[in-house]
Amino acid sequence: MSDVVLVFGYALLTALATGLGALPFAFVRQVSARAITWSNAIAAGLMLGASFGLVSEGSTHGRLETLGGALAGVVFILLTQRVLGDHDDAELSFGAIQGAGARKMLLMLVVMTVHSFSEGVAVGVSFGGGISLATAITIAIAVHNVPEGVAISAVMRPQGVSVLRCAGWSVFSSLPQPLMAVPAFLFVDAFRPALPWGLGFAAGAMVFMVLVELLPEAFHDGRRGSVASLTTLMLVAMVLFQRALH
Amino acid sequence: MAGTEPILQVFFWSLAAAFAAGLGGLPQAVVGRLPQRLLGWGNALAAGLMLGVAYALLDRGLGDALLMGGLGALVGMISVEATHRLTGTEELDLNRLGELDSAYGYQVVVVTALHSAYEGVAIGTAMLLSVPFGISMTAVLAVHNVPEAMLLTAVLRARRVAVSHVATLAVAAKLSQVLLAVAVFALGASRVEALPLLVGFSAGALLQLLLEELLPEAYRQAGSTGIALVTLVAMGMVVALGGLA
């Protein structure tokens, strides 16, 4: 029983770490058009890099299952977009923000929250390998969550959401991690076959979100060269960062 | 060609990839003038395949030399940016079909030649990692060359350049790929410690190219949902292929 509490506690810590991603945005006062472009490019690079890691990890469990999961992730986002309505839908509101901005924030939150489910399963399954490694894995996942919080805050902060709320939503997006980690830990054998599907799903959803929302907007407002450079830098940094934690 | 010397394999395969560009005129020869949306999907296809190659290189080639890889990626990215600025092509619209402009034709050819030079580095690097992996990545870039040449064809045909001239030019502009692939392979074979640097350089350059040249163009030619789907499917195919080699 104490093991279950430990797994839950550790996974909860990793969720809280996501909130730290809002910190850099405490220093951004003015939200200019340029800041929005850069934020989009930063979020795009971080999410693409994270997806590279997910696909790589998923492929070690099953390449075709990972790709199947990615396809399901894309379909899921398409359906979510359908539910949230068209770009210019002024009816939609999220807190004080309305229309296209609210739609994008909601989509971002859905994508990042859903992707945490499969990460939670990954945590639980790897804990199943032996609780002695738990601390190391927890620290790795917690640190890995920080840039994901940056990605979420990069989308929310330019819409005028306060830093504290950015942190709150970042933590929220990671809450599925502790919730999924426990059952995955308890029933490792049942969950393990689902892992490549889940990781692929998360990757497909994130890459699609980047390609359909973040990059078009960044290119619309910013110079191509700068957007490309920032995205490339963030992508490679995220890949190296995740590798270093592994 | 299993028994052939590796460096000859690099030569033959990269040459074949360059010649694939000659096929870029086919869609237009069959359909006539291509709709904008199709050009956009061509750009997205080319971008997705490149994204897949960048993923495969980073996944396979970095090993533990993370800092070297990161340094390589930084140099690759900056190098692409620098060549764009030096040639005055950083905001070049590659698919202008309309008005004539004397500098425009030269810029398009320069961009194509530089673009394929970086792909040559990627081919050489992939071949260094393993020849079967290199061949599969070269095949991907060969396929990628077709929609790229399709766009070049659309631009040049709109300027009433003859089909045979366009096909030859498309291949000629890609020949830098062969030179760089062979040179990088020879260099890397004698200096194994440079491999992570080359992997990083290739990935950084490919990412910068697809993000700066292909995707922005694609988004203007077709809706972002279609572009995202084509890009993702293309990337997925490279990931699937990576399991075979």
pLDDT tens profile B183-213? 999 999 888 889 999 999 999 999 999 999 8
pLDDT of residue A65: 92
Q: Is the pLDDT of residue B50 over 70?
A: yes
* CB contact (8 A) between residue A56 and residue B59: yes
Interface probe for A, chosen from B232, B235, B237 (most Cβ of A below 10 Å), is B232
Better pLDDT: A186 or B130 = B130
* CB contact (8 A) between residue A216 and residue B211: no
Better pLDDT: B10 or B102 = B10
| Residue length of chain A | 246
* CB contact (8 A) between residue B62 and residue A243: yes
Backbone phi, then psi, for A94, in 5-degree steps?
-135, 100
Q: CB-based contact (8 Å) between B65 and chain A? A: no
Q: Is the pLDDT of residue A37 over 60?
A: yes
* CB contact (8 A) between residue A240 and residue B77: no
Q: CA B133 from chain center: how many Å? A: 17
Q: CB-based contact (8 Å) between B109 and chain A? A: no
Instruction: Write the single-letter amino acid at A115.
Output: H
Write down the domain spans for chain B.
Answer: 6-237
Confidence of residue B228 (pLDDT cuts 50, 70, 90): very high
* Facing A207 at nearest CB: one of B81, B85, B232: B232
| ipTM value greater than 0.95 | no
Q: Is the pLDDT of residue A31 over 70?
A: no
pLDDT of residue A137: 62
pLDDT of residue A127: 67
Tell me the average pLDDT of chain B. Answer: 88
Residue B136's nearest CA partner among B231, B61, B242, B48 is B242
Chain A positions in Cβ-Cβ contact with residue B66 (cut-off 8 Å): 240, 243-244
d(CA B229, CA A72): 12
Interface probe for B, chosen from A232, A239, A246 (most Cβ of B below 10 Å), is A232
* CB contact (8 A) between residue A219 and residue B239: no
* CB contact (8 A) between residue B66 and residue A244: yes
Q: What is the DSSP letter of A26?
A: G
Q: Is the pLDDT of residue A91 over 60?
A: no
Residue B83's nearest CA partner among A225, A53, A140 is A225
B68-87 residue pLDDT tens: 999 999 999 999 999 988 88
pLDDT of residue B56: 94
Q: Is the pLDDT of residue B159 over 80?
A: no
Tell me the average pLDDT of chain A. Answer: 82
The answer to whether the CB of B165 falls within 8 A of the CB of B78 is: no
Better pLDDT: A187 or A238 = A238
Better pLDDT: B96 or A18 = A18
pLDDT of residue A202: 86
**CA Rg, chain B, in Å?**
17
pLDDT of residue B38: 87
d(CA B90, CA B44): 19
Confidence of residue B154 (pLDDT cuts 50, 70, 90): confident
pLDDT average, residue stretch B217-234:
93
Q: CB-based contact (8 Å) between B212 and chain A? A: yes
d(CA B151, CA B46): 11
* CB contact (8 A) between residue A219 and residue B236: no
pLDDT of residue B33: 75
pLDDT average, residue stretch B220-231:
93
pLDDT of residue B79: 95
pLDDT of residue B75: 97
Across A108-117, B97-106, B157-166, B178-187, which has the greatest mean pLDDT? B178-187
pLDDT of residue B100: 58
pLDDT average, residue stretch A220-226:
87
* CB contact (8 A) between residue B73 and residue A67: no
- Of all residues in chain A, the one with the smallest CA distance to B52 is A52
pLDDT of residue A113: 86
d(CA B92, CA B103): 11
* CB contact (8 A) between residue B211 and residue A231: yes
Confidence of residue A235 (pLDDT cuts 50, 70, 90): very high
pLDDT of residue B225: 93
Q: Is the pLDDT of residue B44 over 70?
A: yes
Instruction: Write the single-letter amino acid at A203.
Output: A
Smallest CA–CA distance, residue A43 to chain B, in Å, is 14
pLDDT of residue B123: 96
Chain B positions in Cβ-Cβ contact with residue A242 (cut-off 8 Å): none
pLDDT of residue A132: 53
Chain B positions in Cβ-Cβ contact with residue A215 (cut-off 8 Å): 211, 215, 219
Chain B positions in Cβ-Cβ contact with residue A211 (cut-off 8 Å): 215, 224, 227-228, 231-232
Chain A positions in Cβ-Cβ contact with residue B55 (cut-off 8 Å): 52, 55
Q: By percentage, how much of chain A surpasses pLDDT 70?
A: 85
pLDDT of residue A85: 67
The answer to whether the CB of A184 falls within 8 A of the CB of A121 is: yes
* CB contact (8 A) between residue A52 and residue B91: no
Q: Is the pLDDT of residue A51 over 80?
A: yes
Ramachandran sector of residue B18 (left: φ over 0; alpha: ψ -120 to 50; beta: rest): alpha
The SS3 of residue A46 is helix
* Facing A236 at nearest CB: one of B204, B239, B240: B204
A102-161 residue pLDDT tens: 888 888 888 888 878 777 777 777 666 555 555 666 676 777 788 888 888 888 888 888
pLDDT of residue A192: 81
pLDDT average, residue stretch A66-93:
77
- Of all residues in chain B, the one with the smallest CA distance to A50 is B55
Better pLDDT: A88 or B59 = B59
Smallest CA–CA distance, residue A57 to chain B, in Å, is 10
